[in-house]
Amino acid sequence: MVGDTVSANIMMLGIAAQKGLLPIEVDSLQKAIELNGVAIEQNLRAFNWGRLLCEQPQSVFTAAGLNSKKSENMSIDKYVDNFSGILEKYQNSEYSKIFLSNVKKVIEKEHQIKNSEKELPLSRKVALTLFRAMRYKDEYEVARLHSSGDFAQTLLNGNKNAKLEYYLAPPLFSKKDPETGHLLKRRFGHWVYKVFKVLSYLKFLRGTKLDFFGYTLERKKERALAKKTITTINKISEILNDNNYKKIIEFLDIPLSIKGYGHVKEKNIKIAEEKWDKSFDKILNNQNLKKVS
């Protein structure tokens, strides 16, 4: 809805203002945004969306297309194809086909389940889980999002007369906070946009020996997570039956709990993996017991 983290911060300011948590009048805050002279229209819009979110959250969720009913009403083919299209832009058509082939195995199997629901909730969860794992936000994707597509266009159109600055924490070049161990963000000038353009064209290096970003611990963990997710989904397509159907749907909440970026995502991966193998092994063991009996 607002397109970037800067606008998201302004949106949070709008929420705080509407709740009366700030010792400043709403009108004064709006005037301050105008006097700042940077992306005035975009920032005012974000500020007012925040105020509306405080009072009428459902209206904002609907406008942003975040209501769950929308995805449920969408056909499974359209739902999956949407993710597939994004992954093709993210990497290439072959990468997208890996996603499709794994998800379609589960769709075919879920159609055979007697008590499956019309919306195919398992297949939707599988598609979302695999999409998130395969589309980890590395340097190439950050560059692509900032230099092409709707996000970049909105950002650039809203800041035509401003010299944009970017706050980034590239794993290869950033220092760590001595207390937390987290990467520290640094300010980069508008020249970084040209670097983004070049990097976005180099996405074909992702995952290859020439991908020097891929040698960081963070990227290695993300690639390992994608492989683990594919392995798990393949196993699900093999063992899925009427007895374990609902248990597998519940199990997928574990990989879906992995969100965020950087140290936040790393922490969530660690928490999820502690539950992942244990929970999935229970499903597999029950499956094996049924086969023996």
Q: Based on the fold, state whether residues 131 and 84 are members of the same structural domain.
A: yes
- What total number of domains does the chain contain? 3
Q: Is residue 120 part of a domain?
A: yes
Q: What is the DSSP string of 27-77?
A: HHHHHHHHHH-SSHHHHHHHHHHHHHHHH-HHHHHHHTT--HHHHHHS-HH
| 229-262 confidence digits (pLDDT tens) | 999 999 999 999 999 999 999 999 999 999 887 8
The verdict on residue 267 lying in a domain is: yes
Are 228 and 285 in a shared domain? yes
Q: What residues contact 23, with CB distance under 8 A and at least 6 apart?
A: none
In a domain, 205, yes or no: no
100 in any annotated domain: yes
220 plus 111 within the same structural domain: yes
Q: Is residue 207 part of a domain?
A: no
Amino acid (one-letter) located at 126: V
Domain boundary among 44, 66, 88: 66
Regarding whether 84 and 47 lie in a shared domain, the answer is: no
pLDDT > 90: what percent of the chain?
A: 42
Mean pLDDT of 182-191: 77
| Enclosing domain of residue 56 | 5-66
In a domain, 90, yes or no: yes
User: By the 8 A CB rule, do 11 and 2 touch?
Assistant: yes
Inter-axis angle of helices 217-239 and 262-292, to 10 degrees?
A: 30
| Residue, of 67 and 56, whose pLDDT is higher | 56
Is residue 211 a part of any domain in this protein?
no
Provide the 3-class DSSP secondary structure of residue 258.
coil
Claim to verify: residue 90 and residue 61 sit in the same structural domain = no
Answer yes or no: do 107 and 127 share one domain: yes
Condensed to tens digits (0 to 9), the pLDDT of residues 77-111 reads 999 999 999 999 999 999 999 999 999 999 999 99
CB 128 within 8 A of CB 256: yes
Do 228 and 132 share a structural domain? yes
What are the C-alpha distances in Å from 217 to residues 32, 88, 223, 274? 42, 25, 10, 19
Percent of the chain with pLDDT over 70: 84
